[in-house]
Structure 1
Amino acid sequence: MKSMPWRDFFALVVSIGVVGLGLGATMPLTALTLDQRGVGTHIIGMITAVSALGILAVSPFVSRMVGRFGARATMIGAVWAAALATIAMQATDSLLAWSALRCVFGGAMGVLFTIGEAWVNRLAPDNSRGRVIAIYTTSFTFFQLLGPGLVALFNARISWSFAACGLLFLLALPGLMLISNSGPQREAEEHGVRWCLILPRMPMIVLGAGFFALFDTLALSLLPLYAMRHGVSTELALLSATVVLIGDTGLQFVLGWMADRYGRARVHAGCGVAVCLLLPLMPLAVGTPWLWWTLLLLLGAAAGGTYMLALVACGERFTGLSLTSASAIVNATWGVTSGGGPLLTGVLMQSVGINALPAVMWVCAALFVGSAVWERARKIV
């Protein structure tokens, strides 16, 4: 049984946490700045969605980059790309230029998340993988929660907010330099690992990641609107997304411990079942504050568990560049779902009714639970 390289682990966690801080600040800053310039919400949404295109564009090539340059060098390059793309947004008001820069930014994030998730899986011992991955995801989410507060600070005190956000990313470099470069190895597979060989082994992983990407994006964008349409005040409605993220952040380690003790597949499927049981309660709970906040905390925890345990499953099933490719598929799934899901849900909420929001989430969660049953029946490992 291998021992845990704690220095490498904590250096990686801190580095990715700093990336989460920069990401959590950059996303609302972009939307806020465009809104202050009088840009319509449809354009803001399109520019925001361009980041997902960047993730999709880079995902097929990450394992090749790692094979050619090594994990640490590739991550350092991605940090510089994210920083420079964000700083460059300070220098122009062109929407076309912003779209291109956001695409570069999304690609950099895709590289960082893919390698970071594969790397932490490689570091984690088998008997504590759930807890190790939970620390990693909890750190990222916690730092991301701090980002909007930095936006308020930057906007109030300095006039070069994008440059400041860009410089935040560079704070990840010292941590990356401390790591012993023990990440995903440069293997002999010159062209990486074909996705068609990996996908059949990860339906539950893909659907778990896809569900959480949809849930996370809808919670941040449309959940406050859902609450307001049900009569919740604007101030409390805006807190709804924060409460979901708090639930996601606060209970991940518990779920990771449960996965290590009782089995990852069982806890993973249990998270999906919990979501399916909780979502139908949303229309009933929204009018009762204590019930609403409790429901959102539990939903955030269970939904976050579907993603965290999907990462654990990647580490259980894959190694080397195959693990990097599996992580790239997870991030490509995130890009597709977070880009297209809100568009479809918004149309349904407008045409069918406001309760289309929990209905869409429920369908996706049910597909995830169905994939768990399918994998169990076919004994996929």
Structure 2
Amino acid sequence: MSPNSVASRQPLLPILAACGAAGLLAGTSWPLVPLALERQGFDKLVIGGIAAAWGIGMLLTAPRIPHLAVRLGTVPLIVGAVVVGAAVSVAYTLTSNPIVWFALNLAHGAVDGVPWVLSEIWINIVVEERRRGRAMAIYAILIAAGMALGPFVLQVVGVYGPWPFLTCALIALLIAVPLLPYWKAAPAIAPQAGSGFVAVVLAAPLAMLAAFSSGVGEQVAFSFLPVYAVGAGVAPKTGALWLSAFVVGNLVLQWPVGWLADRVDRRAVLAGATIASAGLVLLLPVVPAHSPAVLAIVLVWGGISFGIYPLGLALLGQRFRNGDIARANTIFSMLYIGGGLIGQPLTGAAMDLLGDSGLGWTLAFFYAAAGIGALAALRRGVKGDPYVVE
């Protein structure tokens, strides 16, 4: 390995460590509000609507994140955001009013988007093209590892009451720790002024479709999988462990997906991941909730479906460069959030109407749409297409 290759990876280490802490925060915090609302007796549509507030907050602030990073600095902006996010976590303990929780979820989304968007831009700027798929796989594995540990944290602190929210506040502060030595040494983010939202989406439609479909799948899973489990007759803490199975699959399957994405056409890998995910979610209602087989299905579904997002990021980095990647990556993240914003209320309404099977049917629709898009892109592809890996 050349010295230049080693040096090119060094800037990845602090942001990847921060991503692991961010994954732990997500795995610990995402089930809390839906489970608390379920305990209070709210229907699935209300739960989905309140959960979607996080996405609204993210969408409101995401377009300004790269510009704020230029003005304030990448690391100072991330540190400030996680401190505010910790304060919001504490505020959940002061009330159980669903309207206030909607506002708090809105605020959480506004600040949680900062480390998320900037970390992906950071990675895409410094990584070499020939390693992009594997770099995104490592990123996804670290996020998943943190998420997998989150439900185990809830086994210790519980899923109800103030302690889980206070624990989330402490975990949020951990995100800042590995970044502090890079206060002024983070890679420069210089977003370029250019074409608008639609033009960027049209420049990389398959990557953006991957972002949207993975946003539906992952956010619906973290909002409704524990609720689905409880409705199927398992204990709330066991339902939280279903999330561990969902993200543990990533630890097993993400590296093979990233390796494959660096060696064959990424569109083909994306088509396989989305179509397989559609089939797996349709199996969920068929398998008894107390059967070990259901955990196996959730594990494989999580591992394959988690690959959709980093595959989209790899396609994005392949298409855009330098300042363009900041603008494109921000829109990519917004579409991921938009997927959850649309998918969570739709899934809640489908579960109210169809029962537990509404979760599988909703997710299968969006996964299949992305799979069809990937197959269509493969059919149109010619040598020189920006999505063909040379």
The two structures have a TM-score, normalised by structure 2, of 0.83
| Aligned counterpart for 1:340 among listed residues 329, 339, 342 | 342
| 2:190 aligned counterpart, secondary structure | coil
Give, in whole Å, the separation in 2 of the partners of 1:27 and 1:16.
16
In the aligned structure 2, how far is the partner of 1:173 from the partner of 1:330? 24
CA distance in 2, matches of 1:144, 1:237: 14
- 1:60 is matched with which residue: 60, 63, 68? 63
Instruction: Confirm or deny: 8 A CA contact 1:224 1:241 kept in the other structure.
Output: yes
In structure 2, what residue type is equivalent to 1:324?
A
Deviations for 1:176-224, whole angstroms, at most 9, x for unmatched residues?
123363435335x4x5763233110222112212222222233334445
Structure 1's 198 and 93: CA in aligned 2 closer, same or farther, altered over 3 A?
Answer: same
- Write the mapping of 1:258-269 to structure 2, written as runs, cut at 5 A: 258-269=260-271
Match of 1:76 in 2: 79
Q: How does 1:97-136 map to 2 (within 5 A)?
A: 97-136=100-139
Match of 2:31 in 1: 28
Q: Which amino acid aligns with 2:200?
A: I
Matched residue SS, 1:262: coil
Q: Structure 1 CA distance, aligned partners of 2:42 and 2:251?
A: 32
Q: What residue number does 1:318 align with?
A: 320
Q: Which residue of 1 aligns with 2:177?
A: 174
Shift in Å, 1:54: 0.8
Provide the C-alpha distance between the structure 2 equivalents of 1:303 and 1:218, rounded to a whole number of angstroms: 12
In the alignment, the residues of structure 1 paired with residue 313 and residue 286 of structure 2 have an alpha-carbon distance, to the nearest angstrom, of 33
Please tell me whether the aligned partners of residues 198 and 322 of structure 1 are also in contact (alpha carbons under 8 angstroms): no
Contact 1:75 1:111 in 2 (8 A): yes
CA distance in 1, matches of 2:170, 2:290: 43
SS in structure 1 of the partner of residue 31 of structure 2:
helix
- 2:85 maps to a residue whose letter is A
Q: Secondary structure at the match of 1:23?
A: helix
Q: Is the alpha carbon distance of 1:273 and 1:118 closer, same or farther for their aligned partners in structure 2, counting shifts above 3 Å?
A: same
SS of residue in 1 equivalent to 2:325: helix
Once the two structures are TM-superposed, the CA of residue 134 in structure 1 deviates from its matched residue by 0.8
1:283–1:150 distance in 2 versus 1, CA, 3 Å: closer
Whether contact under 8 Å (1:217, 1:338) holds in the other structure is yes
Bigger Cα displacement from structure 2, 197-206 vs 61-70? 61-70
In 2: Cα distance, 1:97 partner to 1:350 partner: 24
Does the C-alpha gap of structure 1 residues 85 and 372 become closer, same or farther in structure 2, counting only changes over 3 Å? Answer: same
In the alignment, structure 1 residue 185 sits paired with structure 2 residue 195: no
1:107 Cα offset (Å): 1.2
- By how many angstroms is 1:22 displaced? 2.3
Aligned with residue 362 of structure 2, among 351, 354, 360: 360
2:49 is aligned with 1:51: no
Between the two proteins, what is the percent identity of the paired residues? 26
Amino acid of the residue matched to residue 198 of structure 1? Answer: V
Once the two structures are overlaid, the 10-residue window that deviates more, 113-122 or 172-181, is 172-181
Amino acid at match of 1:65: L
User: Please, which moves more after superposition, 198-207 or 64-73?
Assistant: 64-73
1:247 is aligned to 2:273: no
Q: Which moved more, 1:130-139 or 1:349-358?
A: 349-358
Is the counterpart of residue 165 in structure 1 residue 168 in structure 2? Answer: yes
Q: CA contact under 8 A between 2:214 and 2:306: conserved in structure 1?
A: yes
From the superposition, tell whether residues 104 and 276 of structure 1 become closer, same or farther in structure 2 (CA, over 3 Å). Answer: closer
Q: Write the letter of the residue equivalent to 2:341.
A: G
Give the distance between the partners of 2:239 and 2:104, measured in 1 at CA.
31
Q: For residue 256 of structure 1, what is the amino acid of its counterpart?
A: G
| Equivalence for 1:154 | 157
Q: Report the Cα distance in structure 2 between the residues aligned to 1:346 and 1:340, rounded to whole angstroms.
A: 10
Partner of 2:352: 350
Residue type at the aligned position of 2:187: G
**1:22–1:244 Cα change, 3 Å:** closer
Does the C-alpha gap of structure 1 residues 329 and 289 become closer, same or farther in structure 2, counting only changes over 3 Å? same
State the partner residue of 1:234: 234
Q: Which runs of 5 or more structure 2 residues have no equivalent in the other structure? A: none
Consecutive unaligned residues of structure 1, counting only runs of 5 or more, are none
Q: Work out whether residues 213 and 334 of structure 1, in 8 Å CA contact, stay in contact via their aligned partners in 2.
A: yes
1:13 Cα deviation from its structure 2 partner: 1.0
Summarize deviations over 1:290-312 as a string: whole Å, max 9, x none. Answer: 54443333222221111121111
Q: CA 1:72 to 1:285, structure 2 compared with 1: closer, same or farther past 3 Å?
A: same
Structure 1's 362 and 44: CA in aligned 2 closer, same or farther, altered over 3 A? closer
1:10 is aligned to: 13
State whether residues 184 and 324 of structure 1, in contact with CA within 8 Å, keep that contact through their aligned partners in structure 2: no
Structure 1 SS opposite 2:5 = coil
Q: State the partner residue of 1:330.
A: 332
Q: Contact 2:65 / 2:117 at 8 angstroms: preserved in 1?
A: yes
Comparing 371-380 with 108-117, greater Cα deviation is found at 371-380
| AA at the equivalent of 1:68 | R
Aligned counterpart, 1:19: 22
CA distance in 1, matches of 2:86, 2:289: 43
Distance 1:143 1:84 in 2: 21
- Paired residue secondary structure (1:212): helix
Q: Secondary structure at the match of 2:187?
A: coil
